[in-house]
Amino acid sequence: QKEVEQNSGPLSVPEGAIASLNCTYSDRGSQSFFWYRQYSGKSPELIMFIYSNGDKEDGRFTAQLNKASQYVSLLIRDSQPSDSATYLCAVARGTGNQFYFGTGTSLTVIP
């Protein structure tokens, strides 16, 4: 079983819509959860992190964490063409300090 699983997509949404990205993880001891955005040919850049159950909002982005279900999601409101990228979910274990990434979900926002 992979540490972090994501639907690879591709996911297409019209401009202005809400994009919903999902991620599950296998280690119940995982401590920290992250969403990264990666444009083609570029390195991953951090969008959000979340440590506690519930929602965390930052501008158009909302991260949601449910530790009981081992589930993390990212909502992008008012999606823009510039949001078109691959979104990577990452999980850090509490011990060993290892960061694991999902394979990423490709998002296309259609003008």
Stretch that binds other proteins, among 19-27, 57-65, 66-74, 100-108 (CB under 8 A): 100-108
Among 29, 40, 96, 111, binds other proteins (CB under 8 A): 96
Q: Residue 83: helix, strand or coil by DSSP?
A: helix
- Which tokens go with 2? 């992979």
* Closer residue to other proteins (CB): 19 or 91: 91
Examine residue 11 and tell whether it contacts other proteins (CB under 8 A): no
Bond before 10 cis per omega within 30 degrees: yes
Q: What are the backbone angles phi and psi of residue 82, rounded to the nearest 5°?
A: -70, -10
Cα-based distances in Å from 58 to 1, 42, 47, 72, 77: 32, 23, 9, 16, 11
Task: Tell me if 20 contacts other proteins by CB under 8 A.
Answer: no
Q: Using an 8 Å Cβ cutoff, are 109 and 19 in contact?
A: yes
Q: What is the residue whose two structure tokens read 């996911």?
A: 11
Minimum CB–partner distance for residue 55 and other proteins (Å):
18
Q: Does 12 bind other proteins (CB under 8 A)?
A: no
CB of 44 to other proteins, least distance (A): 5
- Binding residues (CB under 8 A) for other proteins: these are 8, 31-32, 34, 42-46, 49, 88, 90, 92-94, 96-104
